[in-house]
Amino acid sequence: MKKNQTDDLFGRKLRQAEISPRPEAWEKLQARLQTEKRPLAWWQQRGPWLAAAGLSLLLITSWVVWKNQTPKQPAMAQNVPQQPKVNVEPKQEVAKFAQPNNNLAATMRVAEMPLRSLPTNTKTPQNQPTAPEIKLGNIAQQTKTIEPKPAPNVVETAPAAQPVVEVAQAQATPPSVEKTVVLQLPELPKVALGAKELADLPLIETTPVEDTRKGSRFARLFRQVKNAKEGQRVEWNEVGVNPNKILAKVTRRDNYK
Amino acid sequence: MGIVLQLFTSETQLIQALSKNDAKAQRYLYDKYAARMLAVCNRYLPDRMEAEDVMIEGFMKIYQKIGQFKSEGSFEGWMRRLITNEALMQLRTKRHIEIDLDTPEAQKLPNYDQANQHLETEDLLHLIAQLPTGYRTVFNLYAIEGYSHAEIAEQLGITESTSKSQLHRARALLQQMLTNLEGEKDDYSNFKK
């Protein structure tokens, strides 16, 4: 086979042929090896892993931050009406509704005229911080009913701004005043009884009194709404709602009616 | 060097050291196989400097891909494949492998026994270097490296029939060259007498 003879001749002679390279060849190869090793630093070899780790770390931190922020927002929303903002909002509303308050105050004063003449006014101021807390709102709205029993305490303590504010919040529209007065009539005896009992206890401090006032405000507002709707009571400690929204709902209901 | 040889008594030890980028192992491998791999490159690339550059690049590939070697075949055969692929890549990038179709058949067959005795490796390399690139590549791959026509066709991007025809014409040319070389040697020996 002539083909195989040619292939065999060249295959046998050249398969194990050797040509010595120049000494410079190893130097070139060594230089290539060094240049190849240089870029293979740790951050290049593990670059993808580092990128994945960094991305995961970023995602985890962002998730943690997001999770920490999300509960804070409702907490802030709940706290805002309770402590600082409620104090500010009624002050603003006081200025807004100064005229209707003055009218109400005038009516209250008119109703209180005979009470001031009573001699019991001198002793009551000590118990005033407790009694007005619960009563002021009701009294301000219901001047006629309260006057006979504990009204004198309320009138003299004259945190006039606070009861006025409550009235203003609950009664954005003047026609609603008449409705609320009628609706809260059944609550009066309870409040009056509590006031009497609390009047005998002079140990109540001022700071918790403010909290109870705030709670009582919401409760009264919502009771007004609930009573307007169904006539049922609602516990307001469990429900955090902006009083302005409640006010808007109340006024709308009244207007729709 | 003696210390290096003692360190790599077996091929598996050498491969393990190479996989760890051991500099001594790399040097040992180069010293042992560089001349053989340069001859492989020179069969495909007649320019010695170009063949040397390809050999260096081939050793770089061997060092980089040492982890891919599975001890199923011979280590030298695996290295030769890498070096051959590197040479073929050089041929593809720098110049096209021209396919010559009109080569005359050899009119006279050479005396292979005489050629086997008298011709040296350098002579045969010189003959192969005179072949056209297409002939030389196919002949090297088929006759010396042991590739099949299917593998050659895949490597070079040609059909199997083209590979066969290229091989046939390469053999014819080499036979003609051998016959001419025999004649020159006979003339030289007669001249000496």
* pLDDT of B29: 93
Say how far apart CA A20 and CA B61 lie, in whole Å. Answer: 20
Residue A242 has phi, psi (to 5 degrees) of -65, 125
pLDDT tens digits along A161-219: 444 444 445 444 455 444 554 554 455 555 445 555 555 555 544 444 444 445 566 67
Question: Phi and psi (nearest 5°) for A89?
Answer: -60, -45
Amino acid at A225: V
- Choose among B60, B139, B175: nearest Cβ to A32: B60
Write down the pLDDT at residue A94. Answer: 45
Q: Which DSSP string do the residues of B6-50 spell out, in sequence order? A: HHT-SHHHHHHHHHTT-HHHHHHHHHHHHHHHHHHHHHH---HHH
Q: What percent of chain A shows pLDDT beyond 70? A: 26
Which of B88, B87, B105 has the alpha carbon at shortest distance from B174?
Answer: B105
B56 touches chain A (CB under 8 A): yes
Structural domains of chain B, ranges and CATH numbers in brackets: 1-96 (1.10.1740.10), 99-193 (1.10.10.10)
- In this predicted structure, what is the pLDDT of residue B152? 94
Burial (Cβ within 10 Å: 0-12, 13-18, ≥19) of residue A15: middle
pLDDT at B142: 94
Write out A165-206 in H/E/C secondary structure.
HHHHHHCCCHHHHHHHHHHCHHHHHHHHHHHHHHHCCCCCCH
- Residue of chain A whose Cα is closest to the Cα of B168: A3
Which of B166, B172, B131 has its CA nearest to residue B152? B166
pLDDT value for B94: 73
CA distance A89 to B131: 101
In this prediction, residue A237 has a pLDDT band, given cuts at 50, 70 and 90, of low
Q: Quick one: pLDDT at residue A161?
A: 44
Tokens of B79: 């290295």
User: Which tops the pLDDT comparison, A47 or A182?
Assistant: A47
- Asked if A33 lies within 8 A of B26 by C-beta distance, the reply is yes
Q: Give the chain B residue nearest A19 (alpha carbons).
A: B35
Q: CB contact, 8 Å: B30 with chain A?
A: yes
Residues in chain B with pLDDT < 50? Answer: 1-2
**Cβ distance A246 to A221 under 8 Å?**
yes
Q: Is the pTM of this model over 0.80?
A: no
B109: contact with A, CB 8 A cutoff: yes
Given a cut of 70, whether residue A241 has pLDDT beyond it is no
CA–CA gap between residue B118 and residue B114 (Å, rounded): 6
- Residue B182: what pLDDT? 74
Secondary structure class of B95 (helix, strand, coil): coil
> Are the C-beta atoms of residues A228 and A179 closer than 8 Å to each other?
yes
Report the residue of A1, A5, A10 to disrupt the B interface, i.e. the one with the largest count of B CBs within 10 Å. A10
The ipTM estimated for the assembled molecules is: 0.82
pLDDT of residue A124: 44
Q: How far apart are CA B84 and CA B161, in angstroms?
A: 22
For residue A120, what is the DSSP state?
G
Tell me what pLDDT residue A156 has: 45
**Cα–Cα distances in angstroms (integers) from residue A104 to residues A113, A152, A243, in the given order:** 14, 16, 21
SS3 for A46?
coil
Quote the pLDDT of residue B185. Answer: 66
Question: DSSP class of residue A34?
Answer: H
Please give the pLDDT value at position A199.
56
- What phi-psi label fits residue A231: left (phi over 0), alpha (psi between -120 and 50 degrees) or beta? left
- Is B116 at the interface with chain A, CB within 8 A? yes
Q: Do B35 and A25 touch (CB under 8 A)?
A: no
Residues 67-96 on B with a CB inside 8 Å of A are: none
Cβ count near A159 (within 10 Å): 15
Residues 6+ apart with CB under 8 A from B62: B29, B79, B82, B83
